[in-house]
Each structure stands twice: as C-alpha cells, then as structure tokens.
Amino acid sequence: MQERYRMFRRDGGNYYIRDKVTGRSESLETADRITAKQLLAARNQSVAQPQLNRSMARAYLSATSPELLTRTWADVMEHYIRSGVESTRDRKNRAFRSRPFAAFRTLPLMDTEAIHLLSVLEHKQAGNSAHHYLRRLHNYALHLGWLLAPIMADAAWPEVRKKKMVAITQDEHERIIDREQNPERKLYFEMLWETGGSQSDIAHLSWNEIDLEHQTIRFFRRKLAGKDGGDSLLRIGPRIKTLLDQLPQQGYLFPTIRLQPSKNRSGYFRKACLACEIKGKSLHSYRYAWAQRARAAGMPEREAMNHLGHQSRAIHAAYAGGAQVAVLPLEFYEAQKLKNVVQFSGEIKVSSIPETMTQDCTRKKSLA
C-alpha cells in the first residue's frame, strides 16, 4: 500500500508534508528530523488503517454476503421508491432523478464516505427536498442492513433550511373566488376552504362518502391508504350544504378536477394566485388556514387533529401555530363565576353543588 504523504524540508528550516492526493502542503512545525519522521509515520498510518480495515471487511463480506460489495445507492433508491402511494412514489422518483443525485446513484455503498453525502447536500441545485430524501435514503439502507454503520452521525448533518408554510387568508380566498370563471373550480376552492381537506382528497370526493340522513361527510386521507388514523367525520353545516346543492348529485363531486394530476391542479392555483398578486400560497395553504381558523374559534385540539388526520400534536401545532386567538377579558370569567354563586344570610352557597349531596352530608352528621 502506497503512502499518501511524503516529507520535505524548506531552506534548512521546518519539515513539511505533502498530500499526494490533494497536493496540499502542511508544516510539521519542527526542524528535528527524527521528530518529523515520527509525525510523518503517524499521518500515513492514520490514513492506511481505515483502508486496511475496509480491505479486511471486504474479505469477510465476500465470503458471507458477496452482494454487499456490489450494491450501489441506485439499488437502495429502487427499493425505497416502491413504498407509499402513487403520488409519493412519483415525488421520490423525481427527487432521485435530480442533478444532486446524478453521481451518487452509481456509488457503491461500501465506498461511501461523509464527503459523498456532503457533496449531494452542497450541490448548487440541492434544496430541502434533496436533504430530506438523502437522509431518509441513508436511514433506509441502515434499516435494510445494507450499511454496517451510519456514514455520518446525526449531529454532523447540516441543518435544514425550513420553508415557512403560510395559511391563505379569507381576503385572499375571496379574491381568488371572485376572479375564477370556471364553476367547478370555484366550488372546489370553496370546499377546500370549508373542509380543510387536501387537494387530492377533495378532488376525489364522491357521494358514497356523504351521508345526508345523518348530515355527515366522511374523509379518508388517500395519503394514508392502508394505515390507521386517516378516517374522520365532519358534520355538514349550512355553508357546506349550500356547496353540495350546487354540485353533481351523484358520482364524484368534481368529475373533471378528479382526472387532473395533482401537479396540474397546483400549477393552475399558482397561476390564479399570481393573477391576484398573491405570493407564497399553494393549495396546501387551505389546510393551514382551516387549522388556524379552528384554533381561533376554540375548537378542541383533538377534534381538529382527528379531522385533519394528524397523528402528532407537534405536526398539528405547526399547522395551527399561526392562528391569532383573542382571549376573553377577565371580567367575562368573573361574571361567569358570580352566576354560579348565591349569597344568603351572610353565607355563600355554591349553586353547582347538587342538593342530594348536601342532604347526604347532613344525614351523615346526624348519624355521627
């Protein structure tokens, strides 16, 4: 095995080492030849030991699991893409076909180092999506047992530049509705505003999910197909009933919009926002708006979570966090307290205590 570093001296001064791979030189900060040789040997050994360990690992794996030596990240991507619903699989496939992953796909898992992961994250076209899918791909390979150990510790991963999602306001929603000329799209946007459903769930809504006898509408998250927690019921109020009366009375509520891919629906809404001079909003902003309106109106958090299909309170808090909740004045609660208190004969009697309980206490005292 060839040594990576060589030693030289400049004008009778300190000794230096040069990296044969990068061409960079570094001072050993000593003019003593024996000390310099010891430092050179230590530096070469620090590089040679990992290479030796890797060579030994290859020798063992070639006898027990030879396929581990030939697997590339493209194999991990292929297995990872298979999970999830169709729209999720499509997003994964687009992410792994992007330029940041171009050279990474053919890289063998056994030869992967932290520098390779960082090269993907530092690519000029890499954003939050590349960071998200690279980290999940790394963890997925670990779960499959195709990586013997994490390539990079959690603390070493760069921090994600989070994009703040913003809810659509009522004024912005009304401007979009006033400008929209297509009746089906107009009712579609109205239904998103009233229900807080995702764009795909509302687009595929049919009369099989609506019970007019019990005045309920059932939502099932297509994103959570086959999982628990995606089913919820919403009582049909007057505004939703008005929308239902204007929609087809059998089959799918939005037959044309249902056939459109989600990216087409998103693209049309983006153009509608630009025409109304609205920035930073998407169809998903309707879910944020519903969560914040529910919180501002005082809806119990558990009910709002069940309706939106959120399993985690942290996720729901991220949706409803932008709500502006007006707290009632203290005098309102003081007035409510006085309504439950009755004064007589200089004593105070709390009206909320049942009379039977008072009689039971009196009877126990007499028996004592």
| pLDDT score of 66 | 64
- A 10 A CB-CB count for 32 gives 12
Rounded distance between C-alpha atoms, residue 151 and residue 109, angstroms: 10
Tokens representing residue 280 in the block: 């930073």
Q: What is the chain's length? A: 368
What's the predicted TM-score (pTM) here? 0.57
User: CB–CB of 40/5 below 8 Å?
Assistant: yes
Query: At 101, which amino acid appears?
Result: F
Assigned CATH for 170-320: 1.10.443.10
Rounded distance between C-alpha atoms, residue 61 and residue 196, angstroms: 52
| Domain residue ranges of the chain, discontinuous segments joined by + | 5-64, 69-156, 170-320, 330-367
| pLDDT score of 127 | 82
- pLDDT tens digits for range 203-254: 888 888 888 888 888 877 666 655 554 567 788 888 989 999 999 989 999 9
Model confidence band, residue 368 (pLDDT cutoffs 50, 70, 90): very low
Q: Angle at which helices 170-179 and 183-195 pack, to 10 degrees? A: 160
Question: What would be the CATH architecture of the domain defined by 69-156?
Answer: Orthogonal Bundle (1.10)
Query: At 32, which amino acid appears?
Result: D
Is pLDDT of 16 > 60?
A: yes
Query: At 157, which amino acid appears?
Result: W
- A 10 A CB-CB count for 17 gives 20
Q: Sign (positive/negative) of CA torsion 164, 169, 175, 181?
A: positive
Radius of gyration of the chain (CA): 33
Is pLDDT of 36 > 50?
A: yes
Is pLDDT of 56 > 70?
A: no
Model confidence band, residue 342 (pLDDT cutoffs 50, 70, 90): low
CA dist list (Å): 17 to 40, 129, 260 = 7, 41, 63
Rounded to an integer, the average pLDDT of 43-64 is: 63
